[in-house]
Structure 1
Amino acid sequence: MRPAAGIRELTCRAVLGECPGMHDVWPDADVLLASRYRLITLLETGGMAQVWRATDELLDRPVAVKLPAGDTRAAHLAWREARLAARLSHPGIAAVHDYREAVRPDGSIAPFVVMELLSGETVAARLCDAGGPMPWGEAVSIAAAVAEALAAAHAAGVVHRDIKPGNVMLCPGGVKLLDFGISAAAGEPDDDETGASFGTPAYAAPERLDGKPAEPATDLYGLGVLLFEMVSGDPPYDVNTWEELAAAQAHGPTPLPATLPVRLRELITRCLDDNPARRPTAAQARRVLTRLVPSAPARLTIPLPKPPPTGHAKVLPAAPRTGSPVIRRVAVGVALAVTAVAFVAVINAVGGPDDSESAQPVLPTSPAVSPSSVLTEATPPPAPPQPTVTTSAPTTAAALTVEAALTRVQATVEAGEESGEIRPDVALDFKNLLRLIDPDADAGLNEKVDQLLRKVRQRQNEGNITDTRASLLRERLNDLRSASTP
């Protein structure tokens, strides 16, 4: 007869809650980890870990338990994942609840991560079930949510490094970004000589293979691959090994479908650029994607801007019927003309299915009143022309937008790196910090500018940046601060 749970725990290791000898296979269903988490069902098995559905018996709630498989490095990655993911609190990122250690039957330590239990399907499963690409509107909605989650992670100094369809889950409440198992702090050196943390070949950014420090741009490459696969059915390099990837890259990626909107194709191409410095930031990608989101967004965990107007004018309460019939007809004609112009402007801004910008507007005419009659009957005589005064005012920092000022700082760093005025690793540090600045968010911008100014002074004193380039950078950073001040 199986002993009661309380007696069983007393006969096991009291602190860690493991019971060697009770199961031929470990871990198994009904095993109690750390005297708190009882395993229920194995959900997924991967090369580096198992994920179980479990019950937190202390708080009486369902959770997911991730048990790394393999050697000491797997255990270290589990600890890193818990620490980095614990920095993040965002509705589009699966939450990490706890990190503990259990004891295997052989006496070795098994670390595990306790996470939010999610229901739904991954993008990989959706594509597999569909047997091909998903509608581009749905893909854009999903990618917008992922970009928002990445912007939050990058702002906290965390780089995911494994963005792919299997790590994006479509839940009833929205899109969730999963698995920070090979994530790293921004700027952290990549000391993995085994390639165990490089991820899947088809989704790995080129700089990962060069051993460069972790940077947010790596996640934007992954976002580009994710978008590419969602809209075409396959990744740009549909390979399984590193050797196959090297051979495929020599021939270039598979072309994107020509039926996609131009702006979407341009964004994907920018994300897949081999040069990380030319990729957009997560915040910039989010802005482009939210403008492309159709009128019915799908499975989003973040509030998105309202979709572009459809051209329907707002209906106002009817005004009292005063004045002559001629004036009323003129007013109707003016309203129709204004509505037509607004409709054409919206069409030109939004674009059609192929996002073409070459179409010329065609204005409808009203049989009740012609444009000439509107001008002659409703428009008062024009005022005498005023003399034109041309002034030449110098461009100041106050005239810059935050985004334009930020772009100037980034260009100054890149130019300094190319000319040898900034040491390459110092330039990369500056660029990583600049990518964490969201032009749309005022909070924290001045603090980041102060941090960059301190770094410029420190690197100048160390001789890693020339006096001329340091002076120009300080000027550009002060312009950025001024642009953020109303």
Structure 2
Amino acid sequence: MLARRYLLLDPLARGGMSVIWRAFDQSLHRMIAVKVLTASLHTDPLERVSVRSEARAAARFIHPDSIEIYDYGETVTTSGGVAAYVVMPLLDGTPLAERVEKGPLRWQEAAAIALRLARVLMAGHARGLVHRDVTAENVLLTAEGPKLLDFGIAAWAGDPDDDRGTPPYVAPERLLGAPTHPAVDVYALGVLLHTMLTGRTPYPETTWEEIEAVRRTAPPPRVPGVPNSVATLCQRCLAHEPEARPTAAQIVSALTSALGTATVGRHVRRGLTVAGSAAIALSALLWFQQSAPPPTPERAAKSPSPTARLIESSPAATITVEKAAADFTTVLTARTPCGATDDDVVLDLRQVLNHAVTPQQGPSETTTDNLRRKLSDRWREGRLTPACLSELQARLDDLDTALQGE
């Protein structure tokens, strides 16, 4: 029992620094998760002040892909030490570590997970927070996407380094006592991306003693069998010198571009397939028209031609502005593929959409140009996924057709 309130039931996961427990909040009568740090704070009062300050800062950091902090406290352990604990929501999901144990992920899946995590880190770094323990154990795969745990025990950029972290993910400069810097999160994210793509960490060392003993001079390993842009990004994240690594914002941009290129390629291939099928259908239709007997006036009056039937059944011929706008809104607010879109982005796009379909006095844009520019801007900012962008652009094509038909 912690703080005469949190009843620890059973451990869910163990890491190098902590244990996560499934627990019950007896005050609010709800299931929760409690992360208890294994290192004692008893011998260093300054450490206790630092941990408490970091937890308060992290509690003010709210991001949809980061776990919210409910509470922070300190408890006396059975050995007489003092350990910190963080109270969080209990989410239904699978630790990424369990997924990786089954084998490598498809590069698109790995890149999409890394992209979501990079967005969280970008937001945290902008507030001066450094996570310091980005690992497969600290990522939970949920129905809403990957969630990054452990921002409850973050550090301020520039703070003295300590021994928190998981050895395979520890950046080389931490062994030299360098101050905390966002680059250590970038290195850990590079290790995580490499692990997702290959099923193993880039280096074999698993303990502090092993990583302190090794001296690496060769370039970081390169992931085979993935797009060059993804392999290069992963290698840059693993650079030995922190200044050679990209920022979290640059990772967001690079992965968004890589996934967008893959999405465009799939659409092009699908378009070529559809075009080929359409050509075959058109050839068959022309052959049918040439080989069929000439219609009598009575037959022509009773039955439309095959071409007329195709036009009548085409959605583009009957779609209205209202329906096209409604379809755009439905995609934008659906869990898939746009479920990760921030509420302020959704509100902004809906307002621009409303302006596009509302008749205006005087000269104005009668197409979706402004809305397309908004989508492009949000995609470059990393606030729209490539799949969401693609679907919304398809809905805008329908809307343009409907607007031109009015």
Range class of TM-score, shorter chain? 0.5 to 0.7
RMSD of Structure 2 on Structure 1 (CA): 3.2
User: How many angstroms does 1:227 deviate by?
Assistant: 0.9
1:279 corresponds to which residue? 245
Could you tell me how far apart the structure 1 residues matched to 2:123 and 2:57 are?
Answer: 13
Contact 1:101–1:111 at 8 Å: present in 2 too? Answer: yes
1:71 aligns with 2:44: no
- In structure 2, the residue matched to 1:331 is none
Q: What corresponds to 2:287 in structure 1? A: none
Distance 2:243 2:39 in 1: 36
* Alignment match, 2:12: 43
3-state SS of paired residue (2:85): strand
Counterpart residue number, 1:173: 144
Assess, with a 3 A threshold, how the Cα gap between structure 1 residues 54 and 81 changes in structure 2: closer, same or farther.
farther
Aligned residues: 272
Tell me what 2:170 maps to.
Answer: 204
**Corresponding residue of 2:160:** 189
- Give the TM-score, by structure 1 length: 0.50
Q: 1:295 to 1:233 in 2, by over 3 A?
A: same
Structure 1 pair 266–106 and aligned structure 2 pair: CA distance change class (3 A): closer
1:54 aligned to 2:23? yes
Instruction: State the partner residue of 2:126.
Output: 155
Give the SS at the match of 2:98.
helix
Write out aligned runs for 1:89-100 (5 A). Answer: 89-100=62-73
Inter-partner Cα distance in structure 2 for 1:84 and 1:160: 12
Distance change >3 Å, CA 293–CA 225, structure 1 → 2: same
| 1:266 paired residue number | 232
Q: How does 1:70-469 map to 2 (within 5 A)?
A: 70-72=39-41, 78-103=51-76, 109-128=82-101, 130=102, 132-180=103-151, 183-190=154-161, 192=162, 196-197=163-164, 199-242=165-208, 244-245=210-211, 246-247=213-214, 249-257=216-224, 259-293=225-259, 310-311=267-268, 312=271, 440=381
CA distance in 2, matches of 1:223, 1:203: 8
CA displacement at 1:126 relative to structure 2: 0.7
Farther off after superposition, 241-250 or 94-103: 241-250
1:162-212 per-residue CA deviation (whole Å, 9 max, x = no partner) reads: 22212111112211111247631012233x4xxx22x22221112211222
SS at match of 1:115: strand
- CA distance in structure 1 between the partners assigned to 2:205 and 2:78 by the alignment: 38
| Aligned 8 A contact 1:78 1:181 in 2 | no
Q: Is the 8 A contact 2:58 2:153 kept in 1?
A: no
For 1:127, the aligned partner's letter is: V
Shift in alpha-carbon separation, 1:290–1:55, aligned structure 2, 3 A: same
Give the superposition deviation at 1:308: 6.8
> How far off its partner does 1:232 sit?
1.4
Structure 2: 5+ residue stretches without partners: 276-379, 383-406
Whether the aligned pair in 2 keeps the contact of 1:68 and 1:78 (CA below 8 Å) is no
Q: Structure 2 CA distance, aligned partners of 1:101 and 1:243?
A: 29
Deviation at 1:58, TM superposition (A): 2.3
For 1:79, the aligned partner's letter is R
Aligned position for 1:385: none
Query: Aligned letter for 1:69?
Result: T
The alpha-carbon distance between structure 1 residues 78 and 280, as it changes in their structure 2 partners (threshold 3 A), is same
Of structures 1 and 2, the larger Rg is shown by 1
Whole-Å Cα distance in 1 between the matches of residues 10 and 180 of structure 2? 35
Q: How much does 1:97 deviate?
A: 0.7
Equivalent position SS for 1:42: strand
CA displacement 1:117-147 (0-9 Å, x = unmatched): 122122211111x1x3111111011001011
Equivalents in 2 of 1:238, 1:172: separation in Å?
32
CA contact (8 A) 1:162 1:182 kept: no
Between the aligned partners of 2:146 and 2:245, the Cα distance in structure 1 is 23
C-alpha distance after superposition, 1:411-450 (max 9, x if no partner) = xxxxxxxxxxxxxxxxxxxxxxxxxxxx949xxxxxxxxx
The alignment's TM-score, normalised by the length of structure 2, stands at 0.59
Say if 1:254 and 1:160 are closer, same or farther in 2 by CA, change over 3 A: same
1:293 is paired with a residue whose SS is helix
The alpha carbon displacement at 1:92 in A equals: 0.9
Q: Quick one: distance in 1 between partners of 2:160 and 2:77?
A: 32
Q: The residue matched to 1:218 in structure 2 has which SS?
A: helix
The structure-2 alpha-carbon separation of the partners of 1:185 and 1:307, relative to structure 1 and needing over 3 Å to count, comes to farther
1:81-100 Cα deviation digits (max 9, x unpaired): 52232131001111111112
Amino acid at match of 2:267: T
Distance 1:243 1:37, change over 3 A: closer
Partners of 1:227 and 1:105 in 2: CA distance = 38
